[in-house]
Amino acid sequence: MLTPQWLDQLRSRVALSALVGRSVRLQKAGREHKACCPFHNENSPSFYVNDEKGFYHCFGCGAHGDAIRWMTDHQGMAFMDAVKDLAAEAGMDVPEPDPRAAKAAEKRDSLHDVMAAAQEWFKASLASPEGNSALRYLDTRGFDAHTIQRFGFGFAPEGRQALKGALSRFPEEMLIEAGLRITVEERDPYDRFRGRLMLPIEDARGRVIAFGGRILAKAKTDAPKYLNSPDTPLFDKGRTLYNLHRAAPAARQSGRMVVVEGYMDVVAMAAAGIAECVAPLGTALTEQQIEMLWRHVEMPILCFDGDKAGQRAAMRAITRALPLLRPAHSLRIVRLPEGLDPDDLIKAKGARAMEALLSEPKSLIEVLWEAERDAVPLNTPEDKAGLKARLMAHVEAIQDPDIASLYRREIQDRYSAFAFPKRESKWQPGGSAQGGFQRGSSQKGGKWNGRPAPAPSSPESISRLNRRHEQGGTRDGLSAAVIAGLIRWPEILVRHAEALARTPGLDPRFELLIDCCGGDQALESAQLETILRQSGSEPPAVADYYGFRFGFLGNGENPEKSAEELTQAIQLLIERPVLDAALQAATARHEREFTDETFAEQQRLRERKLEFDSRLRHMATRHASS
């Protein structure tokens, strides 16, 4: 049964802004976050999220609720499914009415008691005389008393039965089930951890669920340097990230999560002031761990050692992440200098050197390209073809079709630039051939790229100019309509100024309007018109629209609908040059390589362009008819 107290505890453990922020782009507003309401269409933010009070509220439509209500109303989940999903993220066990489930929960609680008792004994052993060797090792690592206490370091004494004697109040079967003792056939059980520096591994609620131990005797080479607990009812190493319960709150403040290779690296980073660090536990980063990271940040940073083992770990993580990629969620990679781990780098160059590396991580696709390019020598055409095959195999693993298409395009561009470097042609401008045709030459019958250059007044030239005028007119008509709309609705200009500034080839009047957006306050329409005229440009007239009659150019009876229509037109204006450039690049690539793959990519982009033109005609026709 779910009691009100249990539900309140669940709500308190969930960061509501992080939960809502997975679906809605929030902006910090004092002690709250704000956004345009996801429950109704609006132009200005009236939807607020308050982490301290644990609720969201929209002053426009009245939508109100907590984390559970968000999952049911916005995500469409059933109540119990929402509770179970949030509880899993918060590291809480959902109470079950089933007697068998209750018995299993009771068993887990008793194992938690065993692990807590073991942790207290390990800590006491560290403080005893027999823990001096472990303390000396910690001193060599530069860990102060605060770090030792914060991370709960302990010591497991030598002796095969020492832990059993210290925890004699618990049955031997329970110690074995908790992973503290090992049983083998025809031999007495014995302690798993002996003569090791001990570090507790905790769950999302901060409860000890396992241990990691580092051997201290250098002469002992017949045992692993690091030893972790086995999988138990409490501990699944593939679904656990070391230090997550400490790193998650720090990540909410910094906006980043750093993944290092081992738990001692985590401690070293935390001691240097970088608290948002986690580590897998003796395995490569798993799919479940990647999903756990994405619950907290969209772009976790993987920080691997610079040796070959670190490079292999990076590739394993990339391979597992590719099928999981989704919009705005990926991985970034930092590679440490060869031969150094985080602790070595911090000791040699200080925490600032580590921060400098973390501030410039590489994208997943960049690391993937570099790793495959440098994997084997590429001396022959067969070697280079093998590189492309390996890269395309990675792309095929991506499940999201849009991301896969974008990866395929960038990989092909990188591969083409690498395998088919441009060669200077004697017919290119500035070529070395004597008498070659030069751009701007008045010589008739010259050549350009090996083809006859048409005379300026030839029918072919006139036809091409007419086609360009028609296409430019369509684009200019849309531009003029959008400029007129932005003058009419200046607050929309403030919202889209950054995106328009990044769009190439726009009407120069856009630059004048964007320069007026120095802050969040929009100018009046009359001011914008005056600025255009004083700069030698006239605001668009009706004749400039080339037949486009969008809703935002009407009488303005419905401001919300006008703002929505203007936003759609801006999106079309921004999308057009990107689509044109992609189609032009795909066409050039197909003419160069002429494969089924390049043909399919060219045809896909042509279909997208036809769809774009259809959307534009539909919008213009719909409003012209109305």
* Residues 388-412 pLDDT 10s: 999 999 999 999 999 999 999 999 8
Using the predicted structure, report yes or no on whether residue 60 has a pLDDT greater than 50. Answer: yes
Phi first, then psi: what are they for 307, rounded to 5°? -85, 180
- Mean pLDDT along residues 216-231: 85
Using the predicted structure, report yes or no on whether residue 432 has a pLDDT greater than 50. Answer: no
Give me the pLDDT at residue 564, please.
80
CA distance 474 to 545: 9
* Residues 590-619 pLDDT 10s: 888 777 777 888 888 888 888 888 777 777
In this predicted structure, which of 132-146, 376-390, 554-568 has the lowest mean pLDDT? 554-568
Contact 357, 301 (CB under 8 A): no
Confidence band, pLDDT 50/70/90 cuts, at residue 369: very high
Confidence band, pLDDT 50/70/90 cuts, at residue 542: low
In this predicted structure, which of 31-45, 356-370, 603-617 has the lowest mean pLDDT? 603-617
- Mean pLDDT along residues 426-448: 38
The tokens describing 605, both together, are 């982009």
What is the percentage of the chain residues whose pLDDT exceeds 90?
A: 37
What is the percentage of the chain residues whose pLDDT exceeds 70?
A: 85
Contact 246, 278 (CB under 8 A): no
Give me the pLDDT at residue 196, please.
95
HEC string for 54-96 = CEEEECCCCCEECHHHHHHHCCCCCHHHHHHHHHHHHCCCCCC
Give me the pLDDT at residue 456, please.
36
- Mean pLDDT along residues 25-39: 88
Instruction: Classify strands 27-29 and 32-35 as parallel, antiparallel or unpaired.
Output: antiparallel
Count CA within 13 A, CB hemisphere, residue 266: 25
HEC string for 112-152 = HHHHHHHHHHHHHHHHCHHHHHHHHHHHHCCCCHHHHHHHC
Q: Interior CA angle at 330 toward 68 and 572, to 5°?
A: 90
The tokens describing 414, both together, are 């990188």
Using the predicted structure, report yes or no on whether residue 429 has a pLDDT greater than 60. Answer: no
CA distance 46 to 59: 5
Contact 122, 195 (CB under 8 A): no
- Mean pLDDT along residues 56-70: 87
CA distance 511 to 535: 11
In this predicted structure, which of 131-145, 220-234, 388-402 has the lowest mean pLDDT? 220-234
Give me the pLDDT at residue 459, please.
40
* Residues 583-595 pLDDT 10s: 888 888 888 877 7
CA distance 493 to 495: 5
- Mean pLDDT along residues 191-212: 93
Contact 154, 119 (CB under 8 A): yes
Q: Interior CA angle at 81 toward 28 and 401, to 5°?
A: 70
Check residues 115 and 433 and name the one with the higher pLDDT.
115
- Mean pLDDT along residues 147-174: 93
- Mean pLDDT along residues 12-16: 88
Give me the pLDDT at residue 576, please.
82
Sheet strands side by side (includes 47-50): 27-29, 32-35, 47-50, 55-58, 64-65
CA distance 9 to 91: 11
Using the predicted structure, report yes or no on whether residue 425 has a pLDDT greater than 70. Answer: no
Confidence band, pLDDT 50/70/90 cuts, at residue 448: very low
Using the predicted structure, report yes or no on whether residue 71 has a pLDDT greater than 60. Answer: yes
Instruction: Classify strands 181-182 and 190-191 as parallel, antiparallel or unpaired.
Output: antiparallel
Using the predicted structure, report yes or no on whether residue 248 has a pLDDT greater than 50. Answer: yes
Give me the pLDDT at residue 34, please.
92
- Mean pLDDT along residues 76-100: 81
In this predicted structure, which of 46-55, 257-266, 544-553 has the lowest mean pLDDT? 544-553
Check residues 39 and 399 and name the one with the higher pLDDT.
399
Check residues 329 and 551 and name the one with the higher pLDDT.
329
Using the predicted structure, report yes or no on whether residue 246 has a pLDDT greater than 50. Answer: yes
Using the predicted structure, report yes or no on whether residue 458 has a pLDDT greater than 50. Answer: no
CA distance 604 to 618: 21
Give me the pLDDT at residue 129, please.
93
Using the predicted structure, report yes or no on whether residue 6 has a pLDDT greater than 70. Answer: yes
Check residues 291 and 522 and name the one with the higher pLDDT.
291
Q: Which residue has the tokens 């004597």?
A: 434
